[in-house]
Each structure stands twice: as C-alpha cells, then as structure tokens.
Structure 1
Amino acid sequence: MLRRALVLCALLATPLAQAFDLQQLASQLGRPGVIRGEFIQEKHLRALPQPLTSKGRFILAKEHGLLWLLQTPLRQDYRIDGQGIARRDANGWQLMPQRTASAQQNRLFLAVLEGDSSGLQRDFELSLRGSEDDWQLTLSPRAVLLQQIFSRIEIAGGALVQRIELYETQGDRTVLRMPQSQASDTLSDTERSDFAH
C-alpha cells in the first residue's frame, strides 16, 4: 500500500509531458536572427536515371530574406525576399519576372525556413510529429494552385530545418539538405550589402 502511494505521489509530482506543437516549432525556427549553411539539392526527374545535383551556401536573415548562392554545377547568386527573386549579374541584382506559381513557391520556401506556420496554414494542412530535437512536418496542399504542383512536402529538422522534400504531382521530387546550418545574430558587411536594394 505504501509503495502504491509513493508511486502515485511521484506521478502527481511529475509534470505531464507536453506534445511538441506548431506554435513551439514556429517559435524555435523563428528565434535566430541569421542562419547560414551549405545546401545540397537533388532534383529527381522521372526521365533521368540519376538526380541533378547542385550545391552551394545560403544565408537566411530575419526581416531581409534569403541569399541562395549556387556554387556547382554553375555559379549563380539569388536573393529571395518580399519583392520576389532577384538574380545577380554584372550590373548587380536584377528582379526576375514573377509568374504566379514561382512567386507562390518563393513565399512558401521563405515561410518554411523562417518557421512561419501561420503563413503555411493558409495554403496547407500541417501535420507535425516528433520533438523539438527531432521533428517531421508534412504539408498537404489545400490551395488549388499548389495542388497542381505538389502532392505533399515533408520537412524535418531539430533546432533548425535540416531537410525539405518536395513531391510534385507529375512524379518528380526535389530533396534539399542543409545538414550543418548555424544560427547567428548578425550579418557580415558583405551580406548586409547583398540584402540592400
């Protein structure tokens, strides 16, 4: 009887473990001011036996956007922000024409990396499982335009996003890995200049 009472007291004294939820994930991903890292992107096309692989570096800065610096197979710098996608050429940053589908994909990409769950919930059903150190988020499109492009999107990570997998309706698949991203509070002078319009 005493043993049961001790077990009961121990259970009552232990706080109930809270499930890791979307609000906690958004808070966790939105915490760093700057995230830097390398990426490996594999585009699996139905028509090709091997994936098309590209590599580079990225800088995600809260309130500025994303610098996507492609290094192989060719060198090309992109900036994604609230105004759209800009590509760097000999004359500086040039805003690219925005088609509806690509504009929506850019907004989606920023929302994923920044942990903007309210932005994602407008267009997707979100299903989260796991813990703050090891989580998986599945996005099922509810917006008609996105249903025409994606069957689902799977995102996984810990403190930061580490993997994004896009399943397209016609059978192609893109895998984006960012295995060793680092959080920081400040931009370098070069990065600050790249984000300036």
Structure 2
Amino acid sequence: MRALCWYGLLLIGLLPGVSGWAAERAESVFSHPVAGSEPRQSRLQALADSVRSQGEIRGRFVQYKHLSVLSRPIESEGRFVLDEQGRFRWDIQAPFPVAYRFDGEELTRVQKGQSNVVHAADDPSLYGFFAFISSLFQQTDGELEEHFERFYKESGEGWTLGLRPRNDRLRRALSQLVVTGQGGEIEQVVLTEPGGDYTRLQFFYPESEAVEDSGAVEMDPAVP
C-alpha cells in the first residue's frame, strides 16, 4: 500500500481531551524511542505480527473531531471491516449513513444508493485518512519506519505506539500520532495537528454479528 505519502494531508489530532490513563500513556511513550533499542524493536515486531495474524478484523468505531471554532466535538460512529485481502470497509451509521471502500489504491463512497470514486487529487484529506487507517491495521512496518520516528512502550494497561513525522512536509500538518491497544487489538488512535484541532478514534471488539449496511445506504454489488 502507498499509504504514508498521504499522511501529510490529514488535518486531524491534538492530545488535550483524551481520557486520563490514555493521556498519561501518550505522554510517556515519547521517552521510549524504538531506534537504538533492540528489545523495543523486537516487541514492536511481535505486536505487528500479532495484528497481522488476525486475518479479517471487524468492529465498531466512534470518532470525535474537536474543532476550536466549535464548543462541542463532531461525533460519528459506525462499523468497519478489514478483510484478509487488505480491503477496508468503513460504514458510518450516524449522524447520517455513508459508506467507504478502500483497497489500497481506490477509494469509493456509497451514499443514497449511489457510488462514486473519490480521487486523491480531489479530496486528499479524505483519501489520506483511509490510507492511514487501513495501513495502521495492517501494520506495514517498513512504511512507518520510513516516514515516522517510532516510540513504543508496554505496561499492565496495554501497549502504546507513538509516531512523529520525520520530514517538514508532514510536520506542517501533523505533530504526532498516538496509538494505544491491548494484545493484537488497536483500541484508540489520536492524531495531533499543530493548529490545535484534534480527532480521537475509538475502536471496539469483538463484533459478533456481520457488519450490515446502514440506514439508507444501498450497496453497489460491484463494490467489495
């Protein structure tokens, strides 16, 4: 997947507002660089192997987007699936139904029975968001190392992965990312932007029932 080239286009993230224990884990992880530490490199590789070994991943998400111009965050929720072929499905059920499909190259939006391809040049932030999330769940370690300084810490509460951009282009839009989880499951992602707005994504497992199409979204049979 060519996901990391779009990370600099993401306009989301900042740490204030993250719940207590997660904020503490985020603060401390950046004191634990992966570079130069063979034990951390080994543990991070074991984590990546654990995430990838799950095969199909499915669950529920809640997204909180905090904008400085608004007194309350914009909240959305729905369900997602990453299948064994790396195809990512993101179904927003509230506040209004819309579905996205991403296969690593092409992003398709399905809304009100109509599907259309979203080109990176037309909506780079949206394309970059799905490129990042799908890459994160697939733990493409080489791309992470190429574009980010990596930090990693484990504790009784789980593991924390910190990412800071290596180049100026990324740093202009993204200060840092903090991913927390337990075992092979990613529980929360916080993306930090220098401007002060932030987005927090929470993921919930397991999802015992199949992900259903939400509300008025009619799925195009040609869309995976």
TM-score (norm 1): 0.77
Match of 2:132 among 97, 108, 113: 108
8 Å Cα contact 1:42/1:53 also seen in 2: yes
Match of 1:160 among 182, 185, 191: 185
Distance 1:125 1:145, change over 3 A: same
Structure 2 Cα separation of the partners of residues 175 and 143 of structure 1: 23
> Which residue does the alignment assign to 1:146?
170
C-alpha RMSD of matched pairs (Å): 2.9
Q: Cα distance, 1:61 vs. partner?
A: 1.3
Structure 2 Cα separation of the partners of residues 111 and 40 of structure 1: 19
Match of 2:76 among 54, 58, 64: 54
Structure 2 Cα separation of the partners of residues 131 and 93 of structure 1: 44
Comparing both chains, which one has the higher relative contact order based on Cα–Cα distances under 8 Å and sequence gaps of 6 or more?
Answer: 2
For structure 2, the residue ranges without an aligned partner over 5 or more in a row are 1-38, 214-218
Rg bigger for which structure?
A: 1
Structure 2 Cα separation of the partners of residues 73 and 65 of structure 1: 24
Match of 1:64 among 74, 86, 89: 86
Matched, 1:84 2:109: no
For structure 1, the residue ranges without an aligned partner over 5 or more in a row are 1-17
> Which residue does the alignment assign to 2:53?
31
Matched, 1:41 2:63: yes
Structure 2 Cα separation of the partners of residues 94 and 160 of structure 1: 31
> Which residue does the alignment assign to 1:175?
200
8 Å Cα contact 2:86/2:138 also seen in 1: no
> Which residue does the alignment assign to 1:4?
none
8 Å Cα contact 1:164/1:176 also seen in 2: yes
8 Å Cα contact 2:64/2:73 also seen in 1: yes
**What SS does the aligned partner of 2:119 have?**
coil
> Which residue does the alignment assign to 1:13?
none
TM-score (norm 2): 0.69
Q: Cα distance, 1:83 vs. partner?
A: 1.7
Structure 2 Cα separation of the partners of residues 195 and 122 of structure 1: 32
Q: Cα distance, 1:136 vs. partner?
A: 0.3
Structure 2 Cα separation of the partners of residues 144 and 177 of structure 1: 28
8 Å Cα contact 2:67/2:197 also seen in 1: yes
Q: Which has the higher strand share?
A: 1
8 Å Cα contact 2:119/2:127 also seen in 1: no
Deviates more, 1:154-163 or 1:107-116: 107-116
8 Å Cα contact 2:51/2:137 also seen in 1: yes
8 Å Cα contact 1:84/1:106 also seen in 2: no
